[in-house]
């Protein structure tokens, strides 16, 4: 089905992701420090029994703070790995029962971003992350990509940024 195909494709992509030092031709480098490596490792080590490591899930090499690109599946919305940002090369996959459930969750996430990363009065996404996204990217480079229906927009940190009162 769609879920299995998606997990397989994502897993293959993670397996082919290169990591290394910044001067090498890689997708990403090491984690910031030993504490962050321990944080990421701990989140993966504490997976509930119903979850699964599709690929990765361990430190990469002996030197530095490298962590393997990791795909976690089978997680539930209430699991720690979903509720807490892992801040590492770890992606989680959750099932949804129908399109309405998926769209409802996406809408909630969008609303949280629109509200500065807050949900029900609690700061879920750090304000610094929201501010960084809202800066937007290079508008000239974005315009050259040919998005005629999005004049003045840009793209940053996986978000489309309108640079107007709507974000």
Encode pLDDT of 83-95 as tens digits: 888 888 999 998 8
Cβ atoms 72, 49 nearer than 8 A: no
pLDDT at 59: 95
pLDDT (mean) for 33-61: 96
Cβ atoms 158, 148 nearer than 8 A: no
pLDDT at 90: 95
**Is residue 18 scored above 80 in pLDDT?**
yes
pLDDT grade for 153, boundaries at 50, 70 and 90 = very high
pLDDT at 91: 93
Residue 118 structure tokens: 């807050």
**Is residue 10 scored above 90 in pLDDT?**
yes
pLDDT (mean) for 50-55: 97
Sequence-distant (6+) residues with CB within 8 A of 87 are 36, 39, 40
pLDDT at 155: 85
More confident residue, 86 or 54: 54
pLDDT at 145: 83
pLDDT at 72: 97
Strands 159-161, 118-119: parallel, antiparallel or unpaired by DSSP? unpaired
**Mean pLDDT of all residues belonging to the chain:** 90
95-151 confidence digits (pLDDT tens) = 888 888 888 888 988 899 889 999 888 888 889 889 988 999 999 988 888 888 999
Q: Is 134 exposed, middle or buried (0-12, 13-18, 19+ CB in 10 A)?
A: middle
pTM above threshold 0.75 = no
Strand partners, 92: 72
pLDDT at 2: 83
- Count the Cβ atoms, other than its own, within 10 Å of residue 166: 7
pLDDT at 26: 85
């Amino acid at each position: 089905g769609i879920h299995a195909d998606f997990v397989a494709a994502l897993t293959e992509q993670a397996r082919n992701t290169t990591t290394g030092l910044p001067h090498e031709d890689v997708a990403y480098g090491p984690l910031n420090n030993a504490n962050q490596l321990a944080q990421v490792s701990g989140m993966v080590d504490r997976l509930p029994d119903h979850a699964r490591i599709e690929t990765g899930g361990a430190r990469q090499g002996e030197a530095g703070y490298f962590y393997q690109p990791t795909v976690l599946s089978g997680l539930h919305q209430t699991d720690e790995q979903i509720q807490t940002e892992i801040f590492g090369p770890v992606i989680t996959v959750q099932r949804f029962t129908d399109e309405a459930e998926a769209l409802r969750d996406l809408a909630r996430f969008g609303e949280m971003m629109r509200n500065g990363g807050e949900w029900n009065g609690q700061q879920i996404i750090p304000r610094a992350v929201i501010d960084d996204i809202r800066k937007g990217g290079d508008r000239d480079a974005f315009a050259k990509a040919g998005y005629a229906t999005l004049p003045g927009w840009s793209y940053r940190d996986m978000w489309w940024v309108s640079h107007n009162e709507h974000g």
